[in-house]
Amino acid sequence: MNTLKSKLGTSFTIDTTSKTVIEFKEALIFAFMGVLRHLEQPNALASVTGAKKDSSCGVIYIPQ
């Protein structure tokens, strides 16, 4: 953040959010990836990961 602030100068301000908000957004993303996995839809896109093709990654664990 310090490097970014120094590069942008005083004409820009950077607002940061709380750790709770960041962790909540991360939890939502992983939940959505789980739904896509359950639906057998790609949840890892080649355009984002740099892979050759989209894939469906992960394991769904259902405790007994």
Band (pLDDT 50/70/90 cuts) for residue 39 is very high
Evaluate whether 34 touches 48 at the Cβ level (below 8 Å): no
Q: How far apart are CA 46 and CA 35, in angstroms?
A: 18
pLDDT of residue 59: 87
pTM: 0.66
Residue 44 pairs with which residues in a beta bridge?
55
Give how far the C-alpha of residue 48 lies from the chain's centroid of Cα atoms, to the nearest Å.
10
